[in-house]
Structure 1
Amino acid sequence: MSKIYHLLSFVTLLFLGLDNSFAQSGKPLFPQKPGLVSYTHRQSFAKDVAATLDTIKALGITDMEFSNLFGKTPEEMRKLLDERNIKCSSFGVGYEELVNKTEEVARKAKVLGASFVRVAWIPHKAPFKLEDAQKAVADFNKAGKILKEQHGLTFCYHNHGYEFQPYQKGTFFDYIVQNTDPKYVSFELDILWAFHPGQNPAKLLNKYPKRFKLMHLKDLRKGVKGDFTGQTSTENDVALGTGQLNIPAILKAAKKAGVQHYYIEDESKAKSVQVPQTMAYLKSLKE
């Protein structure tokens, strides 16, 4: 499987004219290697964790965000990661786990070597309401304080679209950001799930500098119309630069805002082709 990825990466580079020999002069806009969200390879991880990590390492990816340990203990997963010089920088958990098992979440995150704990969904009955946002604010502040003060971990909430419904002069997402304590609550910007409900990811980064520590890199298929459901077909995930989002503008704003980790997330069946294509695209960008 890793050999296939190597071939796809090479072919993609040649096809797009993004190999070093074709690269335009100028300073790279995205000089670092991107990370990867484990959900991208969820089916493969469920079958063989070690082989999937080998495939990911063959791409040159050494930074991971895990939200599932795929039957492994944190200790077992850490051993597999260390053997490949891959780091788990962010550990994703469910909302209820964060609230009710904060200490256990912290233990697992620290065993994995993560610096961040992330939640990506607030339980609610659609449409998302003020009381949902208020409860999330209280829970995030409480859990975030425990994680930071007792364990040195940073909590991040990952937006998912429904929070951008209008509220007063802004959105419920604005309410969450403005009412959570910056010392204890940060954010992971999923750029697709900001764009899908009609937001401009670059403007969000500019609006709340220093609140976004993590980012999910993904693009939305052209022609797809968004809404506030927080849902779209996984096949609407496309390689960066081929969809609707203005990736260069977002990356410039992210750099200015101090985003620390960037993770590719591709939920589609075409990930084996699209992830190498996304990496080639990122490498090609110039300031």
Structure 2
Amino acid sequence: MYKFISRKRLWLKTSCCLLLQFSLALPVVAHELGLQLYSVRNQMENDLPNTFSQINKWGLNLVEGGGKLYGLSVDEYRNELIKHNLEVASVDTSYDEIRDNPIAAVYKARFFGSRFATFYWIPHDGKKGFTIEEAKAAVAVMNKAGKLLKQNGITLQYHAHGYEFLPYKNATILDYMLQNVTDAAFQMDVFWMKQGGMDPTALLKKYPGKFLSLHLKDRKKGSKNSLDGKADVEANVVLGSGDVGIASVVAEAKKQGIRYFFLEDESSRVMRQIPQSIEYLKQLEKY
């Protein structure tokens, strides 16, 4: 597993022994890098064990997913994870599940040993767009389910998809959600923030502490924004080569102490691009 620690914090850590006489403890946050398994959905469909082996070769052992078992039983799937030393830090759930049967998300997360349960979409009429009424209902669901999950050691996360940026009271619907969800957290997919016309770094700065994990994805330069949560999957490019501003996002996330970074690449070039994106992140650590 890659653990990213800034040079400044690394210097503080190594210097700590010199300051023990003053009883000064300097905290250092390790930033863990993982993979959203949806990135390799097609590869898992064909050969799941070999795909997990490839993730190992990339130097990763933290993943996010578990929403699809690819023909295996849940025990067989977990055994493959264990065999390949892959930890499911965040397990997939859904809006319907946390609304109607949130204890199922608890059991699922506990089964996989996950810290988070994350859902990725709030059902709405795509033609009419996401409404404030639907957002208010979602906030109530998130707070109620979030309390239950929290009681069981799990943090509920919502992964926004850009359709939440429709205007509301001189701001956006997502602003309303971020300001009113109190018992759950948010996961920022930086691609979708950019796709919705927002600056992901600025949004992190506006709401420190609200986002507990990130999806690191970059977007092809020249791509058009949208407010429907849809985009061309081939617009996913190697980190650092697009228009998201990955270096700025990572710097701000580390400053805030965000621990979990998940690579995601939905393109047909994923097997080539993921290693290049990992190399880009490693190069960021040198500066």
Bigger RCO (CA 8 Å, 6+ sep): 1
The amino acid across from 2:123 in the alignment is: P
* Pairwise CA distance, 1:249: 0.8
In structure 2, the residue matched to 1:271 is 270
Structure 2 counterpart of 1:221: 220
CA contact (8 A) 2:31 2:260 kept: no
2:200 corresponding residue in structure 1:
201
For structure 1, which segment, 65-74 or 130-139, has the greater mean C-alpha deviation from structure 2 after superposition?
65-74
Aligned with 2:213: secondary structure? strand
Match of 1:70 in 2: 70
Deviation by residue 1:33-71 (Cα, 9 ceiling, x = unmatched): 621001001111122222211111111111000132323
| SS of residue in 1 equivalent to 2:143 | helix
What is the alpha-carbon distance in structure 2 between the residues aligned to residue 114 and residue 69 of structure 1? 16
8 Å Cα contact 1:193/1:230 also seen in 2: yes
Report what 2:81 is aligned to: 81
- Using a 3 Å threshold, how does the CA distance of structure 1 residues 174 and 130 change in structure 2: closer, same or farther? same
Counterparts in 2 of 1:160-171, with a 5 A limit? 160-171=161-172
Which residue among 125, 134, 146 is the counterpart of 1:144? 146
Would the aligned equivalents of 2:190 and 2:214 in 1 still touch at CA under 8 Å? yes
Unaligned runs of 5+ in 2: 1-6, 11-28
- The answer to whether the 8 Å contact 1:196/1:226 transfers is yes
Contact 1:77 1:112 in 2 (8 A): no
Q: In structure 1, give the amino acid aligned to 2:187.
A: E
Q: Distance in 1 between matches of 2:280 and 2:115?
A: 28
In the aligned structure 2, how far is the partner of 1:271 from the partner of 1:57?
15
1:98 is matched with which residue?
A: 98
**Structure 2 residue aligned with 1:241:** 240
Q: How does 1:1-287 map to 2 (within 5 A)?
A: 34-66=33-65, 67-126=67-126, 127-149=129-151, 151-181=152-182, 184-285=183-284, 286-287=286-287
**Per-residue CA distance 1:217-264 (angstroms, 9 max, x = gap):** 101111111020110111011110111111111011111223221111
**TM norm structure 1:** 0.86
Q: 1:142 to 1:71 in 2, by over 3 A?
A: farther
Q: Following the alignment from structure 1 to structure 2, what is the Cα–Cα distance between the partners of residues 76 and 113?
A: 15
Amino acid at match of 2:105: V
- Check whether the contact 2:239–2:280 (CA below 8 A) recurs between aligned residues: yes
* Partner-residue secondary structure (3-state), 2:278: helix
Q: Is the 8 A contact 2:106 2:154 kept in 1?
A: yes
Distance 1:188 1:79 in 2: 27
Unaligned runs of 5+ in 1: 1-25
Q: Alpha-carbon deviation of 1:78?
A: 2.3
Distance, in Å, in 2 between the alignment partners of 1:31 and 1:248 is 17
Aligned length: 259
Q: Percent identity?
A: 38
Deviates more, 1:31-40 or 1:271-280: 31-40
Helix, strand or coil at the partner of 1:267: coil
- One-letter amino acid of the structure 2 residue matched with residue 43 of structure 1: N
Q: CA deviation at 1:72?
A: 3.2
2:177 aligned partner, one-letter code: I
Residue 73 of structure 1: how far off its partner (Å): 3.8
RMSD (Å), alpha carbons:
1.8
Residue deviations 1:181-209 (CA, integer Å, cap 9, x gap) = 1xx21010000000111111111111111
CA distance in 1 between partners of 2:222 and 2:153 (Å): 43
The answer on whether the counterparts of 1:75 and 1:111 sit within 8 Å (CA) in structure 2 is: no
TM-superposed CA distance for 1:89, in Å, is: 0.1
